[in-house]
């Protein structure tokens, strides 16, 4: 048994199985894949990687399974290994390239059966009599114990919320995960939180809300990710990058490929702008109340909308980037709270949590980005294209206080 010192959880124990899995090239690659993509352009400390997140998730899994006598020893070993390997399918810059990889290969980051079933990882798993197929199912949350790793409230999000807050310096990532873990159990084959863990579950939801607002959907992060994604798409379309190879690359590989892209030089231009933090600017940045939910239909035809906006603005389509996030949702609200031998959803058990979904919707933003010199023309064209009429209303923390005073806590 060895230990490593983690800045978030303290000392983490590594048994022989975990040590051998960590030594595989597939896991070592994660040392070179940033957890938060380009968020370090906003928060300079956000340079942590999928590697330490994987360690932290494995550690929390070990803490949780120690309290669960209903899980047999071999299954505890499986879910522990699965938690360490759960992010091995991430491409460079994590979620930045995920949709592109999915579009060309039909594999999401949790589709890891192929990765676990060959090479060094398979050799280690075979040595310890562990089925790669079982681990792949656990990672996707397709088994009962897989809920520990992938469900409404799981150890994966517990670690990344605390870890991302630590490295960004954002003060909203306070999650009482020790209390939460001690109050989690299986009831009727479902992972639930006992009523005594309600406040800890609330802390996780509040942390998720503020991290979404301050970090994950920060406009600089969204702009830089859109620029990187467009460069990658352009290289794939021009046969300069193999999407199957993309999934195996790390951040360093992708940056080098972008810098050395030939073609028309568009990908290389975007790369230079990212290197120098000379980012596109917001030509239009509006909420759902300004454009209506109908705008979401454009998510399936982004490039077409960009081209039409560019034509209206009289600019090169390459200098219009459209960012339409998916419909806001907080899956954690569906977590079940066990009280008096019955289960109720978290948003029904907590009045405070019940208003967070509405606030989350208020923080959704669609962005149209362009070079500074084109922003005025692109902004006007985008407003006409999406028929934007109203001014943006930003959700504020004071809104919660006002509603509390008025007793307006709608579920």
- Give the per-residue pLDDT at 325: 93
Contact 228, 251 (CB under 8 A): no
Structure-block tokens of residue 287: 């909420």
For 253-306, what is each residue's pLDDT tens digit?
Answer: 999 999 999 876 899 999 999 999 999 999 999 999 899 989 999 999 999 999
Average pLDDT over residues 123-135: 97
> Residue 391: which pLDDT band, with cuts at 50, 70 and 90?
low
Q: Say if residue 16's pLDDT is above 80.
A: yes
Average pLDDT over residues 320-343: 87
Q: Say if residue 400's pLDDT is above 60.
A: no
Q: Say if residue 237's pLDDT is above 50.
A: yes
CATH of domain 1-169+218-279: 1.10.3210.10
Structure-block tokens of residue 408: 């307006």
Average pLDDT over residues 393-410: 46
Which residues have a Cβ under 8 Å from the Cβ of 118 and sit 6 or more positions away?
none
In the chain, where are the structural domains located?
A: 1-169+218-279, 280-328+363-411
Q: Say if residue 333's pLDDT is above 90.
A: no
- C-alpha pair distances (Å), 249 with each of 97, 170, 244, 356, 394: 11, 29, 9, 37, 38
> Residue 175: which pLDDT band, with cuts at 50, 70 and 90?
confident
- Give the per-residue pLDDT at 193: 95
What would the 3-class secondary structure string for 294-306 be? HHHHHHHHHHHHH
How far is 83 from 21, CA to CA, in rounded Å?
Answer: 11
Structure-block tokens of residue 343: 């289960």
> Residue 406: which pLDDT band, with cuts at 50, 70 and 90?
very low
CATH of 280-328+363-411, one of 3.30.70, 1.10.357, 2.40.30, 2.60.40: 3.30.70
The structure's pTM equals 0.90
Q: Which residue has the higher pLDDT, 208 or 76?
A: 76
- Give the per-residue pLDDT at 398: 45
Q: How far is the first Cα of the chain from the last one, in angstroms, to the nearest whole number?
A: 49
Which residues have a Cβ under 8 Å from the Cβ of 255 and sit 6 or more positions away?
271
How far is 93 from 252, CA to CA, in rounded Å?
Answer: 10
Q: At what angle do helices 155-168 and 198-211 cross, to 10 degrees?
A: 50
- Give the per-residue pLDDT at 390: 53
How confident is the prediction for the chain on average, in pLDDT?
91
> Residue 173: which pLDDT band, with cuts at 50, 70 and 90?
low
- C-alpha pair distances (Å), 109 with each of 88, 324, 377: 8, 21, 38
Contact 306, 317 (CB under 8 A): yes
Percent of the chain with pLDDT over 90: 78
Q: Say if residue 178's pLDDT is above 60.
A: yes
Least confident of 115-129, 262-276, 380-394: 380-394
Q: Which residue has the higher pLDDT, 191 or 407?
A: 191
For residue 1, how many other CB atoms are within 10 A of its CB? 8
> Residue 341: which pLDDT band, with cuts at 50, 70 and 90?
confident
């Amino acid at each position: 048994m060895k230990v490593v010192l983690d800045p978030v959880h303290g000392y983490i124990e590594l048994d022989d199985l975990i040590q051998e899995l960590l030594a595989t090239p597939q896991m070592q690659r994660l040392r070179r894949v940033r957890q938060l993509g380009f968020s370090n352009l906003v928060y300079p400390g956000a340079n942590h990687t999928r590697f330490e997140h994987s360690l932290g998730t494995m550690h929390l899994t070990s803490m949780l399974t120690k309290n669960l006598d209903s899980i047999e020893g071999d299954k505890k070993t499986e879910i522990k290994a699965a938690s360490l390997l759960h992010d091995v399918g991430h491409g460079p810059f994590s979620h930045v390239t995920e949709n592109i990889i999915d579009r060309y290969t039909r594999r999401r980051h949790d589709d890891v059966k192929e990765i676990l079933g060959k090479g060094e990882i398979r050799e280690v798993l075979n040595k310890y009599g562990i089925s790669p197929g079982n681990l792949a199912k656990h990672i996707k949350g397709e088994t009962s114990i897989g809920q520990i790793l992938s469900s409404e409230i799981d150890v994966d999000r517990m670690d990344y919320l605390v870890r991302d807050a630590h490295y960004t310096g954002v003060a909203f990532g306070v999650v009482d995960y020790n209390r939460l873990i001690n109050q989690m159990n299986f009831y009727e084959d479902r992972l639930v939180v006992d009523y005594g863990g309600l406040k800890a579950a609330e802390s996780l939801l509040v942390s998720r809300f503020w991290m979404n607002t301050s970090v994950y959907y920060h406009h600089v992060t969204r702009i830089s990710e859109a620029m990187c994604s467009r460069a990658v798409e352009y290289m794939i379309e021009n046969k300069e990058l193999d999407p199957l190879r993309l999934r195996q690359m790390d951040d360093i590989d992708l940056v080098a490929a972008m810098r050395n892209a030939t073609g028309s030089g568009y990908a290389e231009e975007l790369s230079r702008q990212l290197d120098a933090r000379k980012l596109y600017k917001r030509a239009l940045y509006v909420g759902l109340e300004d454009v209506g939910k109908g705008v979401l239909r454009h998510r399936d035809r982004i490039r077409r909308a960009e081209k039409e906006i560019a034509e209206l603005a009289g600019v090169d389509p390459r200098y219009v980037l459209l960012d339409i996030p998916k419909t806001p949702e907080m899956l954690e609200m569906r977590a079940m709270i066990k009280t008096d031998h019955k289960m109720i959803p978290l948003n029904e058990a907590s009045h405070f949590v019940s208003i967070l979904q509405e606030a989350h919707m208020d923080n959704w933003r669609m962005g149209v980005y362009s070079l500074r010199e084109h922003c005025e023309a692109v902004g006007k064209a985008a407003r006409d294209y999406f028929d934007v009429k109203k001014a943006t209303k930003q959700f504020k923390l004071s809104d919660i206080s006002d509603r509390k005073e008025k007793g307006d806590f709608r579920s």
